[in-house]
Amino acid sequence: MSFNTFGHMFRVTTFGESHGVAIGCVVDGCPPLIPLTVEDIQHDLDRRRPGQSRFTTQRQEPDQVRILSGVFDGVTTGTPIALMIDNVDQRSRDYSAIAAQFRPGHADLTYELKYGIRDYRGGGRSSARETAMRVAAGGVARKVLGEGVRIRGALIQIGPHRIEHSRWDWDQVDQNPFFCPDPATATLWETYLGDVRKAGSSAGAVIEVVAEGVPPGLGAPIYGKLDADIAAALMSINAVKGVEIGEGFAAAALSGEANADEMHMRDGLVEFASNHAGGILGGISTGQPVVARFAVKPTSSILTPRQSVDRAGQDIEIGTRGRHDPCVGIRAVPVGEAMLALVLADHLLRHRAQNPDAPTTARLPRN
């Protein structure tokens, strides 16, 4: 990961500002001969699209992706796949106020200090709108990983309200506006977040993403560990402040006995009795599901005025009106899935470059 490019062998470069002409990405290093259509990519984009419930921003963007290159006769050719989405709903307005002000919690000040300039319209480059291209690229990554690898995500906490893990039901995730796997908690959130929204306030969230069917051996120690790359990938999503693998921070309180994932043989494969490790040991996938969580801070755009400063160096008060997500964590679910898919696709290619004969299941090498 460097600057606006993600990955080593399977690489994604994104571009575009929230209110510019278009946003787009170039997916490079994709293996050839993989069937790829706009629909493959559009599916997850639609899941991330704003304006689908009252709990996300009311900006109306069809987010219709176009494939500009790299696909021929319906399959990938091994050359760069350029994807582009035209920005449609760049609502015309007067930006003179926001242009000169630094909103707390936003990247306004830091972009200005780093670059001496920023495109202030809708957050410019630092807008979560950029994540649409991550989701688009993630759609390609999923195809590279193939149907054997299944990547899903769910929202497991909004504000102080965590789901009950024992009620987890993947089938529920698409049945509510929160990607919530626990219908009882979804109902609770509906009330809670409704109140937050009406108050012009905002709430944080925790998302869990899971990849099943990941072959063992992915991950490149020491400085390209699978969990290290996942941590960077998830932390790079807007507003994320924490990342965990498997037990995560809870592991600190466990004893070595409780945290050990015991192993046994079954049908010639190594099988684990538990998955405290979240599918990764020594930076390398074990073949178990890869489990990661990330925390999203509450949306920084709130109605209540906060103390800040402006470009002229004056103390000011600033509150945000207009369209915003009361909980940006909701739409981060498909984004988190996409980032996990991108990391895994990159590592799949890196792994087979060095270890083309490695087993794809937890089958022990012959002695």
Site for a copy of itself in 132-191 (CB under 8 A): 157-160
Q: Give Cα 3 distance to the centre of its chain.
A: 17
Distance CA 131, CA 109 (A): 21
Q: Is 97 in the site for a copy of itself (CB under 8 A)?
A: no
Q: Is 208 in the site for a copy of itself (CB under 8 A)?
A: no
Q: Tell me, what amino acid is at 151?
A: I
Q: Tell me, what amino acid is at 156?
A: I
C-beta of 26: minimal distance to a copy of itself in Å? 5
Interface of this chain with a copy of itself, residues 331 to 350, rule: CB under 8 A: 349-350
Tokens of 321: 């009106």
Q: Which stretch binds a copy of itself (CB under 8 A): 39-47, 48-56, 135-143, 240-248?
A: 240-248
Angle, helices 38-48/332-354, rounded to nearest 10 degrees? 140
Interface of this chain with a copy of itself, residues 13 to 42, rule: CB under 8 A: 13-17, 20-24, 26, 28-33
Q: Which stretch binds a copy of itself (CB under 8 A): 38-46, 145-153, 177-185, 214-222?
A: 214-222
C-beta of 168: minimal distance to a copy of itself in Å? 18
Q: Are strands 205-212 and 306-309 parallel, antiparallel or unpaired?
A: unpaired
Nearest to 77 by CA among 112, 131, 27: 27
3-state secondary structure 309-361: EECCCCEEEECCCCCCCCCCCCCHHHHHHHHHHHHHHHHHHHHHHHCCCCCCC
Interface of this chain with a copy of itself, residues 290 to 309, rule: CB under 8 A: 295-302, 304, 306-309
Nearest to 170 by CA among 251, 289, 55: 289
- Quickly tell me which residue has 């020491």 as its tokens: 222
Q: Is 367 in the site for a copy of itself (CB under 8 A)?
A: yes
Cβ neighbors of 49 (< 8 A, separation 6 or more) are 61, 62, 63
Interface of this chain with a copy of itself, residues 258 to 287, rule: CB under 8 A: 258-265, 268, 270, 273, 276-278, 280-287
Nearer to a copy of itself, 39 or 312 (CB): 312
Can you tell me which of 61, 63, 247, 337 binds a copy of itself, judged by CB under 8 A?
247
Nearer to a copy of itself, 297 or 323 (CB): 297
Nearer to a copy of itself, 171 or 267 (CB): 267
Site size with a copy of itself, rule: CB under 8 A: 163
Residues 340, 237: contact at Cβ < 8 Å?
Answer: no
